[in-house]
Amino acid sequence: MATQPEGSKQDASSSKVIRNLLFVVIAMFGFGFALVPLYDTFCSLTGLNGKTDGEAYSGDVMHVDNSRNIKVEFVTSLNESMPWEFKAMQTSVTVHPGEPTKVEFFVRNLTDKDMIGQAIPSVAPGLAASYFKKTECFCFTQQTLKAGEEKEMPVVFIVDPSIDEDIHEITLSYTFFIKPGSEDAKIHADETAIKAKSTVALSTPSTQH
């Protein structure tokens, strides 16, 4: 009986290993894509990543627990390409669980163009996200600001009384993103700032010694 050369056996074995590795890589790649929507769904259900509902809470009126206090802090930021001013009108509030609370945020368009932005919220700790109910929020819709326009935007929220008693502080964060297609406004805003600085420098009299 003829025997297969040793080199042929090694080649066949190597080809099999390569095929198996390619299969594993392709499977992992596909699983990675499938994992993104699964992860988003999981975070939406559990609040583990700090994601909050994108719609207004319209459930039953909650019982106010006057025996507990929870401090809610507000943090604001802008995407690097967003040429707006954005801040909370107050840094924090102390609330009773179940108590509707209204706070205001300030935003200003620093360009000479009408622009559209979208605020993305998150809550920390992540486990508190599913208990943080917003009945009114500027983050539910895109915000259109005319050139140089400024306005105050309300947020009304309720902390669900069933939240873990070990949670005494919650941070509500917002990041404003520019709507795609308006990126050139940032360039114009930078040019305006440079011209303003140049004008100030030229108008300042120099002193001779």
Encode pLDDT of 70-86 as tens digits. 999 999 999 988 999 99
Whether the pLDDT of residue 67 is over 70: the answer is yes
DSSP H or E stretch at residue 25: helix 6-46
Residue predicted with more confidence, 181 or 13: 181
For the record, the structure tokens of 12 come out as 């066949």
Superfamily of domain 70-180: Ctag/Cox11 (2.60.370.10)
Whether the pLDDT of residue 64 is over 50: the answer is yes
DSSP H or E stretch at residue 145: strand 143-145
Cα–Cα distance, 170 to 191 (Å, whole number): 39
Helices (H), 132-206: 184-203
**pLDDT in the model for residue 58:** 79
Mean pLDDT computed over every residue of the chain:
78
**Confidence at 19, pLDDT banded by 50, 70, 90:** low
DSSP H or E stretch at residue 76: strand 70-78
**pLDDT in the model for residue 141:** 93
**pLDDT in the model for residue 39:** 39
CB-hemisphere CA count at 13 Å for 81?
A: 13
Whether the pLDDT of residue 68 is over 90: the answer is yes
Mean pLDDT of 112-120: 93
The proportion of the chain whose per-residue pLDDT surpasses 70, expressed as a percent, equals 61
Mean pLDDT of 130-153: 95
